[in-house]
Amino acid sequence: MSKSIKKIGVMTSGGDSPGMNAAIRSVVRTCAYYHVDCVGIYRGYEGMIEGDFKEMNARSVKGIINKGGTILKSARSKEFRTAEGRKIAYEKLKEQNIDALVVIGGDGSFTGAMIFNQEFGFPVMGIPGTIDNDIFGTTHTLGYDTALNTVVEVIDKIRDTASSHNRLFFVEVMGRDVGHIALNVGVGAGAEEILIPEENLGLDRLLESLRRSKRSGKSSSIVVVAEGDKIGKNVFELKDYVEENMTEYEVRVSVLGHMQRGGSPSCFDRVLASRMGVKAVESLLEGQTNYMVGLLNDKMALTPLDQAIKGQSKIDKELLRVSDIMTT
Amino acid sequence: MSKSIKKIGVMTSGGDSPGMNAAIRSVVRTCAYYHVDCVGIYRGYEGMIEGDFKEMNARSVKGIINKGGTILKSARSKEFRTAEGRKIAYEKLKEQNIDALVVIGGDGSFTGAMIFNQEFGFPVMGIPGTIDNDIFGTTHTLGYDTALNTVVEVIDKIRDTASSHNRLFFVEVMGRDVGHIALNVGVGAGAEEILIPEENLGLDRLLESLRRSKRSGKSSSIVVVAEGDKIGKNVFELKDYVEENMTEYEVRVSVLGHMQRGGSPSCFDRVLASRMGVKAVESLLEGQTNYMVGLLNDKMALTPLDQAIKGQSKIDKELLRVSDIMTT
Amino acid sequence: MSKSIKKIGVMTSGGDSPGMNAAIRSVVRTCAYYHVDCVGIYRGYEGMIEGDFKEMNARSVKGIINKGGTILKSARSKEFRTAEGRKIAYEKLKEQNIDALVVIGGDGSFTGAMIFNQEFGFPVMGIPGTIDNDIFGTTHTLGYDTALNTVVEVIDKIRDTASSHNRLFFVEVMGRDVGHIALNVGVGAGAEEILIPEENLGLDRLLESLRRSKRSGKSSSIVVVAEGDKIGKNVFELKDYVEENMTEYEVRVSVLGHMQRGGSPSCFDRVLASRMGVKAVESLLEGQTNYMVGLLNDKMALTPLDQAIKGQSKIDKELLRVSDIMTT
Amino acid sequence: MSKSIKKIGVMTSGGDSPGMNAAIRSVVRTCAYYHVDCVGIYRGYEGMIEGDFKEMNARSVKGIINKGGTILKSARSKEFRTAEGRKIAYEKLKEQNIDALVVIGGDGSFTGAMIFNQEFGFPVMGIPGTIDNDIFGTTHTLGYDTALNTVVEVIDKIRDTASSHNRLFFVEVMGRDVGHIALNVGVGAGAEEILIPEENLGLDRLLESLRRSKRSGKSSSIVVVAEGDKIGKNVFELKDYVEENMTEYEVRVSVLGHMQRGGSPSCFDRVLASRMGVKAVESLLEGQTNYMVGLLNDKMALTPLDQAIKGQSKIDKELLRVSDIMTT
């Protein structure tokens, strides 16, 4: 074990996601297990620059494993994007004798960590926390599984009212660059059509698909749309377009928005967070740095931060095919 | 017991709400209990005109007490608003030897029932089913309690992300004419401010309240806004206005929309539906007509349909005061 | 307003229930609103005797409105049942200049409060917090509505497996003296039979009812049994008895137990807690003492503590009748 | 594609689990996609012997993806264990021109399928459906993920009441032979100790662990116990033992039982079921037989039925270690 690391800082950064608190708890408890001090850094890089720190022990993380959000709060920091800002941050860490960092967040947070490591040789370890599952080097990011359940339950509710009224619903879910959420909840909620950034179905084929669904006797339809869908119209424009071109349906729109980020984490996310926290601390103590902890083939694995950032999280082709079969 | 009623028709009409299925089940089982035939009428008045009927017995309503939506479906009918349409509907009912109607729905549905009764002397009984709780003659409409829980759970999730990022959220909930949902979920979710149709807080006082909340050390705020709020701006305009006038917060908007109508009914709504179904059938069998079944002082009570329609469902003044104390 | 009350103590006592935290929050915030100090007393009367107190303000109750359990914890105190114990408790309160008490709990807690008031003339106000709804003077105790939803959701899950296997389940729910929970969840979950303390169905009629249910084509049955049911056998003995006397069913037992007490409170319970907290503090400030705050005819009402304790919370006869009709 | 398969039978067998309906739906829809007929076989092998069949199409599986239990019902069949019984079953299938079988179930169901295949050369394909996750050849069985969430949510509720009263709870969860559920929910719910069949902690070390937990300042403790735990005492005996040997805690027991099998499947289970159904049908059409469909390294994979039955589903050693670190 690396003798040089005696105090680890832990922070959350970027958009919050369910499981972040469970990961904080795991980092703190693993530090305690290895008799290493642990410091919570509030509000991400912003709090780091301001020296907004707090010593943490097992008591500090009591009762948070099942809470959404992050007790360390999160923020975006413009100052940390400047060399001056990072210099101040580095000094604040040194003042507190913090030897290494665990950064829980997404792409942007990891980029900051990597640059920080390059500039100061500061040991950093990333834990992927975002509901979008858009990080390379892990099959699951923290919060993704919870978000899938949250969204599927909401669509189940929308289905109640859709099928009571013979309506067509466009339901917009998160996913600017990747369609993981849309594809999985689309299959999971039995959606009639799924629009994701990775595929441009095209307006003609969408209409065709909806007409076929209608002809086959379906009285209601739900189309799941990822935010970043490339069909060329936002979800409200889609509604107008379909209403102009199909008179068979009353069309409604539901934009799920921020509720997708909240809620008590699923068992899967709590366990994943616990595993990732242990792996992150142990990896730092073993002298590893500049990696992201991930889940690959059901095991903990390290991916260099630059690969995690540059690599692409790809949609599962087999699931796309399953989706086609299920929606035909 | 009225000897003339041997077959009762039951239908749902207008917007669907959780508990409608439980009410259908209760009507059907109560008819069976009293050895009266029961016919389900699909898609409200539209299905009545089309003769879209189905005999129902205890088997038909198996496993639906906990399902959202309505197995009889619902629709709005233009034709029923014409004398010709109602004539056809009446004939369809007579063809099937249906002697009386239980109409589960809201204002509009009851107006139809009342006119139908006036024109043909046809026995009708209303059961208030709508999440808005905007019907006079009952403290609770079917689905209202469920919707409160649905919304409160969603706001709890939004709170997770709001408090992780020091954000202000405007959350728009249902309620065009009355603020029951907004007021109750606002108190129940610990909202910092509640905007309802019954009161115009005014933009100045809203800003003042948000500033006071911020000064008191709160890092996040949630403002619950009823659809029909009279502050003069829609929820997206409100966001822009506050962002222009307060730099302390990042502001976000969440419009909850149709998910509020769905979901498995709460125990309260299932029990209320069961009670209302029994009361509706028994009242018809006792020769009553043109009433709505309601809950008043925790007991089943009948209110004439015209009063139910014209009367106003008023916000609870004491709860308004509680809300003021809780949000100060 | 009573000038003599400048500091109010608040405590939870007896079994915990969802909504207790929301009530604590309401008491604390109402005190703040009226510029009265508020002190939290930990672990009920035990903590009172030990002087386990903490000043509370709006910050202290942040984020607890949606949490189950009680942040002030609860305990049973043998010492408080002695005159010496109560003397010590009184002195501890005086040391801290506490002028009045809000006691959130059930029968036993109120009895303690009443004796305390008799002995020392100390102003006390009760808030009924128990899932059993077994208190006179309120149609709803705090936590009751939440427990109904918790139990109904569990029975829905048991129904999944019961109907997949043609099984009979006995589900034991809380309720030693009254059958409120059993009766309501029995109706709400569509149980085939409901056994409550208020009625002794008798073993013969139970068998007869189960046989009739089986003959009518039902492939699964759920019998809800209140803990305090008077049929003369516990739920496991019932299982054996039915298996000996009916070969048609495989029988299973599920004892729901303590999970019924936990969970995030329903919107109804949160609102009720908020109303009760305001009413309790305002009543004390108006000089009232020795009352319990309750909900009667949908309004806040005071009932003398001795009546609340001695009076009987009776099962709703009309709901019993509804239950009979639904299960026939 | 195999030309010989024109009609596929699908059945559920053994204990039900969430996701079985989603799997049935997927099998039916995949058959429709490939223009192959599909027949539902009711009540497992028992219904097969009785010829309790029903043609199924996309309409038949409408609205079931989110329902717990199994619409085809399940049963255990003594007769199918005899050569005569299986002969009759085979003839019933031939009468209906059923060419191949998809069996959704666990160990016992697969053994039946394998013998059936051996005796009659009948093409069979297994889909692992059981909450216990005790099948070799798949990292996840259908219903396992859902059960984890169900149990974790219940333990969260029990935690509310445990921490309000400084109590120790023994919570018994399913798992006769393997501790997957106990280990994962133990970690996920932050349990203080986890007792699983794979490890015999021993009574002394259990007491020691509970004492250490108490000394460290914890006021409540939750011990998760798998049904098949080897500590030598059942959960009620454990309670007595601990109460005799530790006076620090009030001890309570909660046996979760059958509710763990029910409920709407998680998104993960719905998607997994959809994938497995497609894979099962496609594998049969490609001429494969006597395999189980599973999830290995996040991809669909086939495992010979005899290996699936004989192989051991092993607990994750790394998670055991995580559990040790989290509970220290």
The answer to whether residues C23 and C135 belong to one domain is: yes
**Three-class SS of residue C278?**
helix
| Binding-site positions of C for ADP | 25-29, 159, 190-192, 218-220
Average pLDDT over residues A250-267: 96
pLDDT tens string C299-310: 999 999 999 999
Which pLDDT score is estimated for C3? 58
Q: Which two tokens stand for residue C240?
A: 């054996």
Cα gap D207→D205, rounded to integer Å: 5
Is B2 inside a domain boundary? no
The answer to whether residues D139 and D150 belong to one domain is: no
A319 touches chain D (CB under 8 A): yes
Which pLDDT score is estimated for C173? 97
Which one of A261, A290, A321 terminates a domain? A261
Residues B165/B229, Cβ–Cβ less than 8 Å: no
What are the CA-CA distances from residue A172 to residues A112, A229, A252 (Å)? 30, 10, 11
Percent of chain B with pLDDT over 70: 99
Residues B171/B223, Cβ–Cβ less than 8 Å: yes
Which pLDDT score is estimated for C1? 47
Residues D46/D75, Cβ–Cβ less than 8 Å: yes
Q: What is the CATH number of the domain that holds A201?
A: 3.40.50.460
Which pLDDT score is estimated for A1? 47
pLDDT tens string D280-307: 999 999 999 999 999 999 999 999 999 9
* Residue A306 distance to chain D (closest CA, Å): 24
Burial class (CB within 10 angstroms; exposed 0-12, middle 13-18, buried 19+) of A1 = exposed
For A93: left if phi > 0, alpha if psi spans -120 to 50, otherwise beta; the answer is: alpha
pLDDT tens string C77-105: 999 999 999 999 999 999 999 999 999 99
What are the CA-CA distances from residue C76 to residues C47, C122, D164 (Å)? 10, 21, 12
Cα gap C227→C204, rounded to integer Å: 20
The answer to whether residues B153 and B167 belong to one domain is: yes
Which pLDDT score is estimated for A10? 98
| Binding-site positions of B | 15, 25-29, 76-77, 106-109, 130-132, 159, 167, 174-176, 190-192, 218-220, 227, 252, 258-261
Q: What is the mean pLDDT of chain A?
A: 95
Q: Does position D1 have pLDDT exceeding 50, yes or no?
A: no
Is B320 inside a domain boundary? no
Which pLDDT score is estimated for C231? 84
> What torsion, rounded to 10 degrees, do the Cα atoms C85, C90, C91, C93 define?
130
For residue D328, what pLDDT band results from cuts at 50, 70 and 90?
confident
Is D299 inside a domain boundary? yes
Residues A36/A285, Cβ–Cβ less than 8 Å: yes
Q: What is the mean pLDDT of chain B?
A: 95
Which pLDDT score is estimated for D3? 58
Q: Does position B1 have pLDDT exceeding 90, yes or no?
A: no
Annotate chain A with three-state secondary structure: CCCCCCEEEEEECCCCCCCHHHHHHHHHHHHHHCCCEEEEECCHHHHHHHCCEEECCHHHHCCCCCCCCCCCCCCCCCHHHCHHHHHHHHHHHHHCCCCEEEEEECHHHHHHHHHHHHHHCCCEEEEEECCCCCCCCCCCCECHHHHHHHHHHHHHHHHHHHHHHCEEEEEEECCCCCCHHHHHHHHHCCCCEEECCCCCCCHHHHHHHHHHHHHCCCCCEEEEEECCCCCCCCHHHHHHHHHHHCCCCEEEEEECHHHHHCCCCCHHHHHHHHHHHHHHHHHHHCCCCCEEEEEECCEEEEEEHHHHHHCCCCCCHHHHHHHHHHHC
D176 annotated as ligand-binding: yes
> Dihedrals φ, ψ of B108, to 5°?
-60, -40
Tokens 């703190």 belong to residue? A28
Cα gap D224→D186, rounded to integer Å: 6
Distance from the Cα of residue C185 to its chain's centroid: 15
- Dump strand ranges (E) for B100-178: 100-105, 124-128, 167-173
The answer to whether the CB atoms of A164 and B219 lie below 8 A apart is no
Average pLDDT over residues C163-174: 94
Nearest CB to B275: which of C33, C298, C319?
C319
Q: Which of A11, A28, A19 is nearest to A102 (CA)?
A: A11
Cα gap C252→C262, rounded to integer Å: 24
Is D327 inside a domain boundary? no
The DSSP bridge pattern shows strands C124-128 and C100-105 to be parallel
Distance from the Cα of residue B167 to its chain's centroid: 31
The answer to whether residues B270 and B255 belong to one domain is: no
Q: Does position C2 have pLDDT exceeding 60, yes or no?
A: no
Cα gap D157→C68, rounded to integer Å: 7
> What torsion, rounded to 10 degrees, do the Cα atoms A157, A161, A164, A166 define?
-120
Chain D residue numbers with beta carbons less than 8 Å from the beta carbon of C158 are 258-259, 262
A175 annotated as ligand-binding: yes
The DSSP bridge pattern shows strands D7-12 and D100-105 to be parallel
Which pLDDT score is estimated for A3? 58
Q: Which of B141, B140, B147, B226 is nearest to B179 (CA)?
A: B226
**Three-class SS of residue C89?**
helix
Percent of chain A with pLDDT over 70: 99
Cα gap D252→C244, rounded to integer Å: 31
Instruction: Give me the helix-helix angle, A20-33 and D317-327, nearest 10°.
Output: 80
Q: What is the CATH number of the domain that holds C51?
A: 3.40.50.450
Average pLDDT over residues D271-278: 98
**Three-class SS of residue D302?**
strand
Which pLDDT score is estimated for B266? 98
pLDDT tens string C256-293: 999 999 999 999 999 999 999 999 999 999 999 999 99
pLDDT tens string B35-83: 999 999 999 999 999 999 999 999 999 999 999 999 999 998 999 999 9
Q: Does position A17 have pLDDT exceeding 90, yes or no?
A: yes
Which pLDDT score is estimated for D129? 97
The answer to whether residues C61 and C170 belong to one domain is: no
Q: Does position A227 have pLDDT exceeding 50, yes or no?
A: yes
Domain that holds residue A252: 145-261
DSSP codes joined into one string, C299-313 = EEEEEEHHHHHHS--
Domain tally, chain C: 2
Q: What angle do CA A227, A232, A236 make, to 5 degrees?
A: 60
Is A85 inside a domain boundary? yes
Burial class (CB within 10 angstroms; exposed 0-12, middle 13-18, buried 19+) of A301 = middle
Burial class (CB within 10 angstroms; exposed 0-12, middle 13-18, buried 19+) of D203 = middle
What are the CA-CA distances from residue B223 to residues B190, C30, D114 (Å)? 10, 20, 61
Positive or negative, the CA dihedral D36, D37, D41, D42 is positive
Residue type for D225, please?
A: V
Average pLDDT over residues C20-43: 98
Burial class (CB within 10 angstroms; exposed 0-12, middle 13-18, buried 19+) of D114 = buried
For residue D166, what pLDDT band results from cuts at 50, 70 and 90?
confident
Which pLDDT score is estimated for B3? 58
pLDDT tens string D7-46: 999 999 999 999 999 999 999 999 999 999 999 999 999 9
pLDDT tens string A87-122: 999 999 999 999 999 999 999 999 999 999 999 999
The answer to whether residues B302 and B170 belong to one domain is: no
The answer to whether the CB atoms of B278 and C322 lie below 8 A apart is yes
Q: Does position B162 have pLDDT exceeding 80, yes or no?
A: yes
* Residue D62 distance to chain A (closest CA, Å): 9
Identified catalytic residue from B16, B52, B99, B132:
B132
Which pLDDT score is estimated for A300? 98
The answer to whether residues C277 and C212 belong to one domain is: no
C319 touches chain B (CB under 8 A): yes
* Close Cβ partners of D44 (under 8 Å, ≥ 6 residues apart): D11, D12, D13, D14, D73, D74, D75, D76, D77, D105, D109
The answer to whether residues A229 and A153 belong to one domain is: yes
* Residue B13 distance to chain A (closest CA, Å): 10
Q: What angle do CA A235, A241, A246 make, to 5 degrees?
A: 120
The answer to whether residues B269 and B191 belong to one domain is: no
Average pLDDT over residues B160-184: 94
The answer to whether residues C201 and C60 belong to one domain is: no
Residues A193/A155, Cβ–Cβ less than 8 Å: no
ipTM of the complex: 0.96
- For the annotated catalytic residues of C, the residue numbers are 132
- For A:235-274, CB contacts with B below 8 A are 252-255, 257-259, 261-263
pLDDT tens string B249-277: 889 999 999 999 999 999 999 999 999 99
D29 annotated as ligand-binding: yes
The upper half-sphere exposure of residue A198, i.e. CA atoms within 13 Å in the direction of its Cβ, equals 17
Average pLDDT over residues C179-184: 97
Q: What angle do CA D129, D133, D138 make, to 5 degrees?
A: 80
Is A318 inside a domain boundary? no
The answer to whether residues C200 and C237 belong to one domain is: yes
Average pLDDT over residues C161-190: 95
Is C324 inside a domain boundary? no
Is C319 inside a domain boundary? no
Cα gap B250→B232, rounded to integer Å: 22
The answer to whether residues B12 and B132 belong to one domain is: yes
